Amino acid sequence: MKILISSASFGKIDLKPVEILEREGYTVVLNKNGRKFTPSEFNELIKDATGLIAGTEKITAELLEKAPVLRVISRYGVGMDNIDLEAAKRLGIIVRSTPVAPSQAVAELALSLMLNISRRVSEADRNLRNNNWTQLMGRLITGKNLGILGLGRIGKKLAAMVQPFGMKIFAYEPYPDNDFVATNGISLLPLNEVLSRCDIISLHLPLSDDTFHMIGKKELSLMKKDAVIINTSRGGLIDESALIEALKNRTIGGAAIDTFEKEPYIGELTNFENVLLTCHMGSSAIETRRQMELETVNNLINALKEVKS
């Protein structure tokens, strides 16, 4: 049986997960293109695949309907907004993901972006490389108000990480873990109040119909003029055109963005000095990727065994 791995980064760090699949008797087809498959490539490769290890590429109903023997999709990552789950269910395809493994790495990236943009580290680095020795005046994060939108696994880890900085934590979370909130001194507030009170806003919510463009012109206008917004979750949570307008009008102080609606990103956000951009690298830590790949493979194998039993 054939296992198609559409994620171009899978197996780059360690071939052990691929070897596990081969020992189980599966024929593994890796994506060696260094990019996402084109629609025609995907259509051709998936048509005889029993299992799919998927990255962030779109898994549409049309694609799934061209895969008559596909039984399991094992998502190499957390979010499943790129997969047509209704179509998968209708076609009897099991879908699994790895929500636990990336949490630490994404939370650490959010913290690093918070520190970087507050102290203008990347901006100073660019200046120095251009022979411009200028000591830029930044801000401390110590004692500031941090707004966390989404207190799931990643939001919780970030809340724990910033405790030594003495930050006051405000959070928006529709389904809160009240014990965690109480233990960590977090104030739960409506979205608008979190936005208006905080110096730093960090997004940690899944993308859905309810959360798509949840941060738009109105929401950005509520933020402090020197506040920054950080998104290591999903690009669609922020209305990019509204963010660009807010930056141009100096409605907010800056932004640090790791995920975008269209990737690879090419757009106007690259023109702002007070914007820090990274290339969807929340889980890009060696330790995390090894764990994710093993979990992804184990999820696939176990699900295929379920189908057989």
Residues identified as active-site: 234, 263, 280
Q: Do the beta carbons of residue 295 and residue 101 sit within 8 Å?
A: yes
Q: Do the beta carbons of residue 111 and residue 232 sit within 8 Å?
A: no
Rounded Cα distance between 271 and 239, Å, is 17
Token digits for 229? 């917004």
Nearest CA among 101, 90, 68, 92 for reference residue 297: 101
Angle at 247 between CA 241 and CA 253, to 5 degrees: 140
Parallel/antiparallel/unpaired status of strands 72-75 and 94-96: parallel
Count CA atoms closer than 13 A to 257's CA, side-chain side.
27
Rounded Cα distance between 54 and 76, Å, is 6
Nearest CA among 50, 92, 94, 97 for reference residue 75: 97
